[in-house]
């Protein structure tokens, strides 16, 4: 049985947001820094989805985040 795993770009964006919120990643880091938080197998699917959506691995994580909602402290 062959099971194909797919990752939607929204899943990738949400994961990037989560890692930025936790302080693990910075917005100005390149997208490829996300790869160390996923297995090689998962990353190949992420990479394919990023390519389909015209993101380059050298683009910044902030490009994935788009508009962020800021709340007053």
Residues 8 and 15: beta-carbon distance below 8 Å: no
At 1, is the pLDDT very low, low, confident or very high (cuts 50, 70, 90)? very low
Residues 26 and 61: beta-carbon distance below 8 Å: yes
Segment 13-29 shows an average pLDDT of 94
3-state secondary structure the chain: CCCCCCCCHHHHHHHHHHHHHHCCCCCCCEHHHHHHHCCHHHHHHHHHHHHHCCCCCCCEHHHHHCCCCCCCC
At 41, is the pLDDT very low, low, confident or very high (cuts 50, 70, 90)? confident
The structure's pTM equals: 0.77
**In the chain, domain spans:** 9-64
Tokens of 1: 């049985």
């Amino acid at each position: 049985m062959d099971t194909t795993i797919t990752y939607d770009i929204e899943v990738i964006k949400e994961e990037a947001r989560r890692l930025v919120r936790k302080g693990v990643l910075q917005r100005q880091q390149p997208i490829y820094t996300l790869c160390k938080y996923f297995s090689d197998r998962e990353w190949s699917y992420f990479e394919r989805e990023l390519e389909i959506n015209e993101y380059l691995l050298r683009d910044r994580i902030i490009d994935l985040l788009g508009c962020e909602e800021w709340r007053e402290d």
